[in-house]
Copies of this chain bind each other. A is one copy, B any other.
Amino acid sequence: MNTRAQDALDLSSDQLIGSALKVMKLSVDNRRGISDQPIVKITQPEVAQKFARLARPQHHPIPIDTVLENAREVFDHRIRMDHPRFFGFIPSPASDWSWLGEVLNTAFNTHAGSWLQSSGPSAIEQSLISWMACDLLGFPPTAGGCFVSGGSMANLSALMVARDQKLDFEERTRAVIYTSDQTHSSIVKGLRILGFHDRQVAKIECDQHFRMNTAMLRLRIEHDRRSGKKPFLVVGSCGTTNTGSVDPLDELAAIAQKEDLWLHVDGAYGASAALSKSRKSLIKHVGLCDSISWDAHKWLFQTYGCGMVLVRDRKLLMDSFRTGAEYTQDAPDGPEEYPNFWNYTQELTRPARAMKLWFSFQMLGLDAVQRGIEHAFELAETAQATLERLEHWQVLSPAQMGIICFRYQPPGLDEFALENLNKEISRIAIENNVAAALTTRLSGKLVIRICSMHPDLKNDEMMQIIKSLDHIAQAKLQK
């Protein structure tokens, strides 16, 4: 009975160091070489079948060189969200420091649920969150929050607090939530999780700049009250995914105050503009909201998944998420400034996600982070300036917060032909590894969209990419 399983499950120092160096080499080679790699690579069916077989564990260990080669091939089949020329969705131009911060974090494997379990990392998390909420966004000192896996979870957490603060249980079925038609899909998904019906969500139209039309919002609230419904929550966007637009947050805050609504803001990527001295005025009213979601794995150069939920009054998180059980009796709450973070969020067990952002900030310094954020603005502006000098390109949403939407619109083509043409331009640019600018729809029209966030992409490279899109467009048109 006195078998030691250690030999099987763990390694000697020499073995560990040898293996770690191999893993490190593959990692570094990948990270250094990314600009020359395909931006988008999809698995073909026969390769997927090979991977499916590869996924099944064997009884005996496989030699590390084989496993690493297999891993390399598997990972090769992905979109490089951190490729300098990936412009789809919101990219994740993760810094090497975030990677190394996570290497460290995982090595220490902290359970960041309670003060007892992670007082060191929890003290960092608490203070970093406080700095971001108060110093950067302008929340009062009562503000707080915690790290979560990403924007979807952050939105869910905040919406839960809104529900629990603003509604009696019996009021929930007649409650109404106000979003815009540009609000991120995770909001409706979060509301569905929280028990609301899709028909309880009022999608308010946007103005021509893709910002919520507040006159329409006022009318709709009035109408809902007259119908016996219970308005309780308005969701603003600080940087929509489609266009980077920022809702008129000051007006939303005024309406929310007057109508006793919770104001949640989705700042998943846009909140990072707060770190730029020259651009932060674009989101200056963000501190007026009751809660906000903010992803560090987007515009703060972190690897996945690293998001935050911030609440104007952090104590409200505990009303919704307080956790207790017999088996946690030895991990009581610390004093108010040192919370058990499992009382702030859905997760009981949680990695110390704050530590990699902390590590990155320490290694980069804020000036570099600021330059990186401002560079994203400039890249989209460069794209716009270049497009405006070319023929037949129409900008449907100008560069803002690093996002621009446009399409190629030569005369004589109907809408159907235009859609196909622009889809083809996007497809061919990906196929030729020029850039991955995916498509979306604005006011019903298919457009090409660039979200440019990568610090490694030069402005003249962006000019060149736009010119390449133009060549692709012209060549396609001539066929």
Contact = CB atoms under 8 A, between A and B. Distances in A.
A366 B59 contact: yes
A32 interface: yes
A366 B57 contact: yes
A327 B240 CA distance: 11
The 5 closest A-B pairs by CB, nearest first: A195-B195, A77-B120, A8-B368, A27-B107, A55-B127
Interface string A121-152: 10111111001000000000000000001111
B52 A153 contact: no
Contacts of A393: none
A23 B185 contact: no
Contact of A185 (B150, B169, B323): B323
Interface in A171-221: 172-173, 184-186, 189-190, 192-197
Contact of A73 (B120, B303, B347, B366): B120
Give the copy number: 2
Given A103-B24, A111-B304, A455-B9, A365 B330 contact: no
7 contacts: A17-B28, A19-B100, A20-B27, A21-B24, A52-B124, A53-B127, A305-B350
A2 interface: yes
A390 interface: no
B123 A329 contact: no
B365 A104 contact: no
Contacts of A325: 184-185, 241
Given A42-B116, A75-B108, A5 B351 contact: no
Given A9-B456, A57-B366, A150-B349, 19 more contacts: A3-B375, A13-B28, A20-B24, A24-B24, A27-B107, A30-B108, A52-B124, A52-B127, A55-B131, A58-B366, A70-B362, A79-B116, A99-B106, A102-B102, A150-B347, A151-B349, A152-B347, A185-B348, A189-B346
A363 B117 contact: no
Contacts of A26: 104, 107
A458 interface: yes
A192 B153 CA distance: 16
B81 A111 contact: yes
A449 interface: yes
A155 to B, nearest CB: 10
Nearest to A107: B27
A52 B349 contact: no
B327 A242 contact: yes
Contacts of A16: 28, 31-32, 96
Give the interface centre of A17, A47, A375 by most chain B CB atoms within 10 Å.
A375
A341 interface: no
B6 A455 contact: yes
Contact of A153 (B70, B346, B378): B346
Interface stretch (A60-68, A394-402, A409-417): A60-68
Interface stretch (A230-238, A250-258, A284-292, A434-442): A434-442
A115 interface: yes
